[in-house]
Amino acid sequence: MSKTIGLIAGDGIGPEITEATVKVLNQLVADFKYIDIDLGGVAIDKHANPFPDESKAKLKEVDAVLMAAIGGPKYDDLPREMRPETGLLGLRKELETFANIRPAKVFDALAHLSSLKTEIVKGTDIVVVRELTGGIYFGQPSSNDGETGINTMVYSKEEVKRIARVAFDFAMKRSRKLCSVDKANVLNVSQLWRDAVTEVATDYPEVELSHMYVDNAAMQLIKDPKQFDVIVTGNLFGDILSDEASMLTGSIGLLPSASLGDGSKPGLYEPVHGSAPDIAGKGLANPAAMMLSAAMMLRYSFDMDKEATMLETAIQEILQAGITTADLGGSAGTQEIGEAIHKQLETALSKA
């Protein structure tokens, strides 16, 4: 049965990278259907609402959501409830995505772009699984009366076990190594986290589980990133560590992500970067992060592992051939990159 993708082209460079991504997706899977969904700035312009009811309703018709990016300076002065980011938070809430998956893979041809020495980062291939809907960003009480600021880190055992299962499932599909990051030497909530993850481990005897304190994890990521495969952690630690891990790769234009729930609602796939208003409309944007997000969608929402690998390989090959956008030190434009990947895929498909 053909799958339907909710497509959020969004703002800034969004429409440019979406066009390039849909072209390669069509090449790989002929019978995908697409439904355009307005979110962020474009939705504010059209509907005076960053996440209008019409967009919400469309989510019921789709099997996965592929988003480019939203936001831009035009909307900076709007009140918070009207801003593009509020639309994105609303979307994540609507889809009940509690697991944020951020791969950080260093492509051999680009290892020299990392701020760390090539021999340290070359071969790095990490996935950070971050709990997204709990922890200190949502815990109560939370207040600031001008004298005292309060936030509360809360996790229930079930919340921890739910994200742990996602991480163990990822580990099973990769090298069967999982590192759980916490601060169990100081925080009660982390002690509970550690116990809950250890409990889930009994259902995954093939996975080698280790625990690490977050301060050590931050150091180890810089010292020897190759020791990690899948990392699972809470909302706050995951926010920081996933950004740290992503910077090992040297480019924001190459970082995909997925936000997943329990499978009853569509997964959300989007590049880590924003709408890059400084280069919007100039044909300079790197479409690779959105394409790599599309590859995650193929793999995790549609079980199309072969097609996902083909797309990832085609991207890697053009990088290796030195065809890159300015963010990676090259001079190719969005269209040129799209065409080069298209060509690689054509060759791969003819051999398949």
Ligand X SMILES: NC(=O)c1ccc[n+]([C@@H]2O[C@H](COP(=O)([O-])OP(=O)(O)OC[C@H]3O[C@@H](n4cnc5c(N)ncnc54)[C@H](O)[C@@H]3O)[C@@H](O)[C@H]2O)c1
Catalytically active residues, by annotation: 137, 183, 215, 239, 243
Q: Which of 274, 294, 300, 312 binds ligand X (CB under 6 A)?
A: 274
DSSP codes of every residue in 291-305:
HHHHHHHHHHTT--H
Q: Please, which residue, 49 or 190, has the CB nearer to ligand X? A: 49
Bridge partners of 267, per DSSP, are 64
| Residue 272 Cβ vs ligand X, minimum distance, rounded to whole Å | 7
Tell which residue, 252, 215, 247, 264, has the closest CA to residue 98.
Answer: 264
Tell me which residues in 15-74 interact with ligand X (CB under 6 A).
69-72
Are 139 and 240 in contact by the 8 Å Cβ rule? The answer is no
Residues 6 or more apart in contact with residue 186 via CB below 8 angstroms: none
Q: Which of 58, 105, 183, 273 binds ligand X (CB under 6 A)?
A: 273
| Residue 288 Cβ vs ligand X, minimum distance, rounded to whole Å | 7
Residues in binding contact with ligand X, number by CB under 6 A = 22
Q: Which of 15, 139, 277, 330 binds ligand X (CB under 6 A)?
A: 277
CB closest to ligand X, residue no: 274
Q: Please, which residue, 5 or 289, has the CB nearer to ligand X? A: 289
Q: Which of 325, 332, 338, 344 binds ligand X (CB under 6 A)?
A: 325
DSSP codes of every residue in 77-141:
TS-GGGSHHHHHHHHHHHHT--EEEEEEE--GGGGGGSSS-HHHHTT-EEEEEEE-SSGGGT-S-
Segment near ligand X (CB under 6 A); pick from 195-203, 279-287, 298-306, 343-351? 279-287
| Residue 225 Cβ vs ligand X, minimum distance, rounded to whole Å | 22
For residue 121, the one-letter residue type is V
Instruction: Give the DSSP letter of residue 140.
Output: S
| Residue 245 Cβ vs ligand X, minimum distance, rounded to whole Å | 17
Instruction: Assess 299 for contact with ligand X (CB under 6 A).
Output: no
| Residue 289 Cβ vs ligand X, minimum distance, rounded to whole Å | 6
| Residue 258 Cβ vs ligand X, minimum distance, rounded to whole Å | 13
Are 193 and 211 in contact by the 8 Å Cβ rule? The answer is no
Are 103 and 256 in contact by the 8 Å Cβ rule? The answer is yes
Tell which residue, 28, 21, 19, has the closest CA to residue 310.
Answer: 28
For residue 336, the one-letter residue type is E
Instruction: Assess 285 for contact with ligand X (CB under 6 A).
Output: yes
Instruction: Assess 253 for contact with ligand X (CB under 6 A).
Output: yes
Here's the x/- map for ligand X, 71-90, by CB under 6 A: it reads as xx------------x--x--
| Residue 19 Cβ vs ligand X, minimum distance, rounded to whole Å | 13
The span from the CA of 241 to the CA of 217, in Å, is: 8
The span from the CA of 129 to the CA of 234, in Å, is: 9
Segment near ligand X (CB under 6 A); pick from 92-100, 194-202, 209-217, 281-289? 281-289
Q: Which of 167, 289, 295, 296 binds ligand X (CB under 6 A)?
A: 289
The span from the CA of 4 to the CA of 280, in Å, is: 28
Q: Which of 286, 316, 324, 344 binds ligand X (CB under 6 A)?
A: 286
Taking the alpha carbons at both ends of the chain, their separation in whole angstroms is: 22
∠ CA 28-279-295 to the nearest 5 degrees? 20
Q: Which of 327, 340, 341, 344 binds ligand X (CB under 6 A)?
A: 327
Segment near ligand X (CB under 6 A); pick from 139-147, 213-221, 242-250, 270-278? 270-278
In our burial notation (b when 16+ CB lie closer than 10 A, e otherwise), range 188-215 reads ebbebbbebbeebbeebeebebebbbbe
Q: Which residues of the shown chain bind ligand X in the complex (CB under 6 A)? A: 13, 69-72, 85, 88, 252-253, 270, 273-279, 285-286, 289, 325, 327
